[in-house]
Structure 1
């Protein structure tokens, strides 16, 4: 009874296995269908081979058939089609959706730079009131104030008795009663030159009474930073008694990495988000880019001004800051996920007619809002694969479809130098282990912008002049760019404090 059941199970299992294998190879054939196409009239047997390659190492091309020097297998021919070496990977349109392939159109738009950094609030050093004694006197009373108090404008601080003012005011009142306008004007001027505020002079003239006591007040609202006056003390003319910092506007001190500082200009917009006020956005502008960079952190200090009409923003608070700048420069953009970065170059899978796809090398620019600028390699209106591109790229590599190297004319590089300046350089610190006119070996720390850990590595030098003044053992700061030949040193500077 069990024998027939066992036979049926074996037959069903074999059928499923054969069906699954057949389906896999059928789909494999339909995905990777790059069939030879005759270069001219004739049968398929007359197709012309462009070159031969090893599917396990498709970057290497051979002029003649034979055995692969890399693997124990024969070389595979790559045939020409109507477009010469632009042979493309063909996919059955019916499989496109099943493979999750999505396309995106290359579009042109303006360039908007955005730098995300952190900052800390500080006092606005331009909004400072220094309160001094205009004449010698004695402190008769002090208000209950202390450094750190938040004051309103015209808040009283202390009362100072000025004995010499009493005689001058008596003379002024006597001349007023005499009715001589000329003498009265001269007496008023003497009161002003003695240090008496215009408001106190007006009070004396209006009341007809001597007012020898001066009340010190804060001319602006803000934080009391200093209070150097105590009851009973003697004060001299010109002595600083108090200092007040205004809170109507605060400064946001931001440290911008040196590699991104080129995209920051004075006057551009800034947005700050503070943990103390979740969900709120405080808008300001960049008021100054300070001239000196921090040598230890390689950052540039940027000052952002934030209005503070309600006084909620207090110095010492931290903030996440977005520095945004839009320009009229028009660039080509593709979704960032469409770009395949190999470490040495960037590729996209270009979609052509009739389900054809081929790898194309591109020159990338800055990233912004999930998109990457394309400076060279694509044209507006073309379509690229934004999902499923890694599957297609792997299949293309197995078929020997390698993107041709991108031509990089000097004129194009110069035209986009400003855009690439801040995105092409990657910095780290290290020590020179070996050095010649062409390359340098460094024991370097991590390149954070590359996600590359510290290690010992040999780099190409962009020009022999970079080695001038350097020797083995020097500690240096290195800036590299990614090229087709690997990482190339663009700047090599000896760190400060070395002989």
Structure 2
């Protein structure tokens, strides 16, 4: 008897209509003006290769071996200084003249040239200034290739392998991403900060990367195939509940707030474990502001009327014939699936009725036997 009652309750529960994801509470409909002002842009949910990444901070530095200084082997004074800060020079180019302290009329002079091609980063001498043999007068750096040094936490250093790819961003160039491979790891760990250096060499033909720039690193440590993912910008909400806005396939300028479950996240994409299907178009640009846009200036009734070519009730349901909804001969027949009444509902309703009959028969038979 208990088993029959349990089965009846389960069947009745399953026969209840599911929550409509396109209910008025989850549906936002905007007019053309608001869509344009929000700059709405979409991206498809797709199954692609997904990279698990390690995040770290660091700086841009001069590549080892690409820095040179100019000094004088003889003491004297600066007779002429031709070098200018931030000037590009070629190897062997004349930079300055040093007047020797040896006697003479005039005293002998020595020309100092550029030891390498590059950019003059420092000029620490002025005309007439005394010069000693141990003094650094001019510094030159070659920025054709720079080193990006990431400070990786020690407990994550075991995931690093020479040759791994990193996507590197600098704050001064927010729209640009540099890719480079891991060239070498630091010989020593930084005990004070608890990090180890991971160095990447970046080609820098335009000289846009300069030493000292702060950099952010997303280092790819592993890769998985056929993972459903979307751009990070599409994800809204917090750790307690994530959701996205999905472009409605039927209504124009309509967006459905859809709950999703997320998995791994890297610097550009988020793994979606449930809530979306491949090909769903999610809002990326304008997703955050969409939640504040409300229902816009277009009602659900207006949107459905425009989409289907016949009037609807204010809640979006079909208008009955008693309310004047008549279809002209030859018009396109369009019927909405009524909530809670479909083939699955009929099946479970029938099953519930059969179980009820069995329950009554079993109860009657039991009473007769007892009597």
TM range (shorter): 0.3 to 0.5
- Give the number of the structure whose alpha-carbon radius of gyration is greater: 1
Give the TM-score, by structure 1 length: 0.34
Q: Which has the higher contact order (CA 8 A, sep 6+)?
A: 2
> Which structure is higher in helix share?
1
Give the TM-score, by structure 2 length: 0.44
